[in-house]
Each structure stands twice: as C-alpha cells, then as structure tokens.
Amino acid sequence: MVTQAWYTVLVGLVATERLAELAVAKRNLAWSLSRSGRETGSAHYPFMVALHTGLLFGCVIEVWLTTRGFSGLLGWPMLALVVASQALRWWCIRVLGHQWNTRIVIVPGLPLVTDSPYRLLPHPNYVAVAVEGFALPLVHGAWLTAVVFTALNATLLSVRMRAEDKALRSARA
C-alpha cells in the first residue's frame, strides 16, 4: 500500500529532479551568456518558480491534511504519467543541449532545434510540465492541488509560450 510517507518520498524525488534541472539551466545560462545570449520574457519567471514550488508543497500538504487514501485505480496510471513526463522532459533537455533552459535565452547564430520531440510538437517540454502538474498530485488523490496548478499553469504557459515564440521568431529574422 502506498502511504503518505511514500508519496512524500516520491514528491521529494521530483523536487530533487527539479533541482537537477535548475543546475543544468544555470550551467546552460552561463554558456549562453558567454556566447552573447539574450534573455527575454523574464517578467513571468518568478511566478513560474513560485507556481512549481507551490505544486510540490501543495501535493504533500494536501495529502497529509486530508483523509484520502491511495487509490490504485487512479494512482498507478498517474505514477506512470509522472515517469513518462520526466522521460519527455529529459529527452527535451538532451536534444536541446546547451540551448535548454528554464529561462528564455536566445544565442545569436545557433540553429533552431527541430529534431526528435520538436519535430512532433512545438513545445514538448511544456507538455511534460502540464502532464506532471496534474498527474503528480493525483498519484495520491490531491485533487485540489491538481486543479489549482493546472488552471494557473495554463495561464502561465499561455504567457510563456507567447514570449518564447516571439523570441524564436526574432532569432529566425
């Protein structure tokens, strides 16, 4: 049986993965800036950090404060989606290489990546974020966290994708 403690460990593992992402992003930001990279669309970044941090805390707090138990019918498929979203995210990170970042940074002269998941979707990393954002809470029935994060994330992603698309268009010009 999956207990609240095991679920907390799972959320902790996801948090550790997020810290690894931030380390990669920091390294890639330094690489990009050393090659005249320019950050754009940064106004929404603090909200994005707060929202994603809130997701992790919300998952744990909701599960510990409610009496809902683990439901295998929902929990196991949601866990599979969490794992799949992590795989998609790291595929994106690998394919983009130094160009991947949690910020929007354009390095002049670099070709746009159109391989692998980017051949199929314009923003595959955001698919991973969206799937993880509803699946991780639902692994242990944190319905409120799933709904709130998904609604706020949809708003954030609309802003983020517009800013990123604008930056990419300017890079092509």
Kindly give the confidence (pLDDT) of every residue in the chain, 173 residues in length, as a single tens digit, with 9 standing for 90 and above.
Answer: 569 999 999 999 999 999 999 999 999 999 999 999 999 999 999 999 999 999 999 999 999 999 888 999 999 999 999 999 999 999 999 999 999 999 999 999 998 898 999 999 989 999 999 999 999 999 999 999 999 999 999 999 999 999 999 998 887 76
92 within 8 A of 100, measured Cβ to Cβ: yes
Distance of CA 86 to the CA centre of its chain: 9
Q: State residue 90 phi and psi, 5-degree precision.
A: -70, -25
The domain spanning residue 10 has which CATH number? Answer: 1.20.120.1630
Residue 173 is predicted with a pLDDT of 65
Whether the CA torsion 70, 64, 8, 57 is positive or negative: it is positive
| Domains: count for the chain | 1
Q: Which residue has the tokens 């991780």?
A: 136
Please write the tens of the pLDDT for every residue from 144-160: 999 999 999 999 999 99
Residue 128: domain span = 4-172
